[in-house]
Amino acid sequence: MRNFFIVWGLFSVSLITYMPNVKAESANTVIAVVVANNQTTSDLKLAKPDLNLIYWRKQLYWAKGHRIKPVNLRTEHPLRQQFSLKILGALPKQQIDYWNGLYFNGVSPPHVVNSEEAVIRYVADTIGSIGYVDACLVDDRIKAILWIDHDQITSNAPENFHCQ
C-alpha cells in the first residue's frame, strides 16, 4: 500500500508540473478565423476591428446582406479565452454583464458549441457563419480568412507556420 502512495505522489507532482505547460502551449496556438469553403470571400476583407464588431454583435450583416452568424467555443475552452482576449479585450466571464444587458434588448450572443469540430461543422453548414479554430484543424470544409498568431492578425498564414 505504501508503494501506491509513493507512485500516486510522484504522479501528482508530475501532473502539477505538466499543467502550466498545457496552458502555455494553448496560449500560443495559431488561430484561424474561418468561413464555409463555398462562401465568397471577395467581400470579406476583415481586420481585428471588424471581427470585434461581429463578435460583440454590433455588425450583424455581411456586405452582401446575409446575416452574420458567429459561433464561439464554450466559455472554459482555452482557444475561446485566447480569442476573447486578443479580439474582444476581455475574458468570456467578464462579458456576462454585457450580454445580459443586450439580451433584454433582443440581441443574443454568438452561438456556442463544445468543440472545434462542432465549430467546423457549424461554419460549413450554416450560411453566413464565421468561427475560429486551431489553424491546424482547417480542412476542405472551411477556409481561413484571418490568422491570429500571438499579437499578429493577418489575412495570410503566419511565416514558419507548420502543423504536425
According to the model, what pLDDT value does residue 137 have?
Answer: 97
96 assigned to some structural domain: yes
9 assigned to some structural domain: no
149 assigned to some structural domain: yes
pTM over 0.75: yes
According to the model, what pLDDT value does residue 4 have?
Answer: 40
Residue 82 maps to which CATH number? 3.40.190.10
148 assigned to some structural domain: yes
Domain that holds residue 80: 29-154
According to the model, what pLDDT value does residue 40 have?
Answer: 77
146 assigned to some structural domain: yes
According to the model, what pLDDT value does residue 91 have?
Answer: 93
- Render each residue's pLDDT in the chain as its tens digit; 164 residues: 544 444 334 333 333 333 333 333 445 789 999 999 988 766 677 899 999 999 999 999 988 888 999 999 999 999 999 999 999 999 999 998 899 888 888 889 999 999 999 999 999 999 999 999 999 999 999 999 999 998 889 988 888 778 87
According to the model, what pLDDT value does residue 162 have?
Answer: 83
44 assigned to some structural domain: yes
According to the model, what pLDDT value does residue 5 have?
Answer: 42
Number of domain units in the chain: 1
Amino acid in position 41:
T
The C-alpha cell at 9 is 505522489
